[in-house]
Amino acid sequence: MRILHIYSGNLFGGIEAILISLARHASLGSDTHEFALCFDARLAESLRAAGAPVHLLAPVRVSRPHTIRQARRRLTSLLASHAFDVCVVHAPWSHALFGATVHRAGVPLVFWAHDVWNGQHWTERWARRTQPDAIVANSAFTLGTLGNVHRGVARSVVHAPLDVRPVTLDTHQRAVIRAELSTPGTATVVAQASRMEAWKGHATLLRALGTLRHDLQWVCWIIGGAQRPAELAYERSLRELATELGILDRVRFAGERHDVPRVLATADVYCQPNARPEPFGIVFIEALTAGIPVVTAAVGGAMEIVDDTCGRLVATGDGDAWQSTLSALIADEHARTRLGAAGPARAADLCDPARQIQRLHAALVATTHVGAAR
């Protein structure tokens, strides 16, 4: 089956990680995966490096309607010249802008939901106008937020197909990464790797660590670079907060890294105190694969990933609970080792690429029959 994935491609986060993983693991299934992107940026480069065909549409700015029309014309031409069996639009933005174009071309349309649907954003209202032939969601939680949206359409949950081979580093490799981040080998590293957005809970993490500044030997790695002006301002506010708390000298703002799994394998604890539900949480899978315990909020997709065998779930808004949980893990190497050891098996159980690619194939094959009947 020949599949075309349609997406913007200008930022980098969880959706991009899924698309790259599909490209890298395509040989595990019988399908071919191709990608139509609006922007020629890091995602396009990574897909090409994985050997996947990348078709460029046009850089779309919704405030400039002519860019939308240009991208739609290029997609129409692409669909007319290539025999795709199904098109998958990722997230409401892609569905809103290109769903109707796919329908007019007579190609079955699948909407892959990667985020919480609240019906308020303009992309969601626009996306409701075009009913897909099927819906795929990255978690049961995400699927549940869709409610009656596109009622009667077949729905499936497909977790991210990720590289879940355990990450192993020797003593020298660990020392090199720690040296890059000015971190002593004896320090307990608490890491967070996420977009620079307030709801990811960086401030909660810093405040919890601020209460431990005199008691324990820890260093915090904040991994992830700002991609938009608002994120730059947010990162500055985090540096200011760390200064106010007296811990700036123990916080490393690592910026964007292309080796996140290796960096996580050099850390000791992963902590992400989300203020609102994570749709799934690819980085939690990466941390589990790296063999470190995950501490995150007891909401959303994280509850499908983290349990007491591999980490800790903490109530949102409970500053004392975040502080006590981190304090216990930083102080107890045995507990960290025990929880971390269970991580790789848990990650593989959820996101083994061969299994998830087969689940995706089954969902899309059913869609081709629906689309043919439409």
pLDDT tens across 120-164, in order? 899 999 999 999 999 999 999 999 999 989 999 999 999 999 989
- Crossing angle of helices 353-373 and 14-24, in 10° steps, is 90
pLDDT score of 70: 98
Mean pLDDT of the 77-100 span: 97
Name the percent of the chain lying above pLDDT 90.
Answer: 88
What pLDDT score does 71 carry? 98
The boundaries of every CATH 3.40.50.2000 domain in the chain are 2-160+352-373, 171-351
Tokens found for residue 254:
């690592």
* Distance (Å, whole) CA 15 – CA 187: 33
Taking residues 322-328, report their average pLDDT.
96
Neighbouring CB atoms inside 10 A of 74's CB total 17
What is residue 167's predicted lDDT score, i.e. its pLDDT?
A: 84
Residue with tokens 């790296």, as numbered in its chain: 290
Second-level CATH architecture of 171-351 = 3-Layer(aba) Sandwich (3.40)
Return the CATH class of domain 2-160+352-373: alpha beta
Q: Is 226 left (phi over 0), alpha (psi -120 to 50) or beta?
A: beta
Q: Is this prediction's pTM over 0.85?
A: yes
DSSP secondary structure letter of residue 9? -
Q: Are 270 and 292 in contact (CB under 8 A)?
A: yes
Partners of 19 in beta bridges: none
Q: What is the pLDDT of residues 9-30, one digit of tens each?
A: 998 888 999 999 999 999 998 9
Range 223-250 average pLDDT = 94
| pLDDT for 374 | 52
Q: Give me 233's structure tokens.
A: 């301002």
